[in-house]
Chain A
Amino acid sequence: MTDRKPTCSPEGCDSRSGSGGNRREFLGTAVAAVAMALTGCGKLSKEEFLQHNFQELSKDEVRSVIARLEKEYKAKYGKDVKVATTPPLPGVIFGYALDLSRCIGCRRCVHACVKENNQSRDPEVQWIRVLELDKEEGVNLQHAEQYYNPEEVPREGHFYMPVQCQQCKKPPCVKVCPVGATWREKDGITVVDYNWCIGCRYCMAACPYGARHFNWGEPHLTADEVNPDTHYFGNRPRPKGVVEKCTFCIQRTRKGLYPACVEICPTGSRKFGNLLDKTSEIRYILENKRVFKLKEELNTQPNFFYFYGV
């Protein structure tokens, strides 16, 4: 996470300017200078280096972090990128249901997600993986193919199963994170603090759904491609060397909108809503349809359900 290209703030780049202040400020500047020397790059600002875990930040600190990020994005992409910190809505736990009897595997969701969530385009990071499965085998992941590319879908004898972050109630990825850079929010969304993530990828090894993705290189995203409506935990442009994942489009859903994948799906296979609302679509599905959870035996307790709408 030390390889970003933000413009340096004056006090962050000039290590001597801080020496006139108090002891804490001096030490901070000194540590940042040492870090710069060690990592061999002078791109990391002092503020960024010293930023704490998001959960520990005071309101003022959050404000200054957001201001710094927005300034960096403005400098990098030449346009205003808004970074929201919208908190969870009270009385809401998000649930998702996907109709396996309707999905035709067209991958519209995959690409709408990339567009909405500012993923790296080269190489393209995709948060949704659509598996092509044999009807004869049923949900047998040993017969899954994710690189299918026929002229037309659905193919005879196959069905399709998109897999993305299952927003588990007992997320193994959170359990293994050595620095507490990922956690489950009150509305059931597991988020990542990209500025606290050290890129160890333990979470990727722990996730049984392959839902987490790593930025091996500097994410390539042109200014035209940037979606300026972002959230700190969601689709704000990521630095190199951090892990990212589906957040149910946190920047949209906390404002009451459907996730981008729900909006794009031409077959209406994707259903989303509040699990605590008795009148929601998601509750209707859970109460009236045949529902299953992927890899239920692992006791990860997903809030993402697969169902058969027929």
Chain B
Amino acid sequence: MTIRPILFTSLTLLLLGLPASANPPGVKAEPPAQEGIQVPKPPFTEGIFPCTSCHDGKSMKLNTQRRPLKDMHDDIVLQHGPESRWCLDCHDPKDRDRLHLASGEPVEFTTSYQLCGQCHGDKLRDWREGIHGKRTGSWNGPKQYLLCVNCHNPHSPRFKSLKPMAPPMRPGEIQVRKGSAR
């Protein structure tokens, strides 16, 4: 990955502990994540993380049998890729607080883009360049990225429809209001 000089410099400055006032307003100074990319926290359902609070390997034994989930997590409808895909393809069976790549290499939830990038390499490349996905902050300074999972629910990744905000007023409507508006 190519780290851009500006981004790199600004992150370095952040690391060096410049006072918070050095940041442009509205930019949240979070500690830089792996590979120099600033990302917010993954959007966990409240109270669900750490997973090991239930999946501790003692009270709940590991079951690698593919099965429909009944007692817990039954709200998750997996609409992501082939039907044969299931939980432990991405969630690590040994360390439940982490994910794992196809190679078995563990990945933190905070760097889950590595996992997504295994299949969506083109999107990952664009995301790193700031083309795919949203960036906020400063066009010539520190930026904040979002994780893939901040916009795409990993279990059902299609971007959800939104209610559009109000349309513009038609010219006719404006004329009607003109008298009262003055």
Which chain A residues have a beta carbon within 8 Å of chain B's beta carbons?
Answer: 92, 99, 104-108, 110-111, 122-124, 126, 129, 146-154, 216-218, 220, 253, 255-258, 262-263, 265-268, 271-274, 277, 279-281, 284-285, 288-289, 309
Contacts and interface: CB of A to CB of B under 8 A. Distances in A.
Going nearest first, the 10 A-B pairs with the smallest beta carbon separation are A268-B134, A152-B161, A107-B165, A281-B130, A268-B133, A123-B174, A106-B162, A279-B4, A256-B138, A153-B164
B73 interface: no
A271 B136 CA distance: 10
A265 B132 CA distance: 12
A59 B5 CA distance: 36
Contacts of B95: none
Contacts of B4: 279
Interface string B152-163: 000000010111
A153 B161 contact: yes
Contacts of B141: 256
Contacts of B138: 256-258
Given A147-B167, A147-B170, A265-B134, A122 B5 contact: no
A285 B131 contact: yes
A284 B135 CA distance: 15
Contacts of B129: 281, 284
Nearest to A265: B134
B126 A123 contact: no
B66 interface: no
Contacts of B174: 123
Contact of A258 (B132, B139, B163, B167): B139
Interface string B128-150: 01111111111111000010000
Interface residues of B, number: 38
Nearest to A107: B165
Contacts of B177: 122-123
A152 B5 CA distance: 41
A268 B162 contact: no
A146 B168 CA distance: 8
Contacts of A217: 178, 181-182
Interface string B102-135: 0000000000000000000000001001111111
B6 interface: yes
Contacts of B181: 122-123, 217, 220
B182 to A, nearest CB: 6
A267 B166 contact: no
A30 B87 CA distance: 83
A261 B14 CA distance: 26
Contacts of A107: 164-167
Contact of A218 (B6, B135, B139, B182): B182
B82 interface: no
Contacts of A126: 168
A253 B139 contact: yes
B72 interface: no
B169 interface: yes
26 contacts: A99-B131, A104-B162, A106-B163, A106-B164, A108-B165, A123-B169, A123-B177, A123-B181, A129-B168, A147-B170, A148-B167, A152-B163, A152-B164, A153-B161, A220-B181, A255-B24, A256-B138, A256-B141, A257-B24, A257-B26, A257-B139, A266-B162, A267-B134, A267-B151, A268-B133, A284-B131
A263 B165 contact: no
Nearest to B4: A279
A263 B139 CA distance: 11
Contacts of A257: 24-26, 137-139
Nearest to B174: A123
Nearest to A160: B164
Interface centre among B126, B129, B130, B164 (most CB of A within 10 A): B164
Given A123-B177, A146-B168, A274-B140, A281 B135 contact: yes
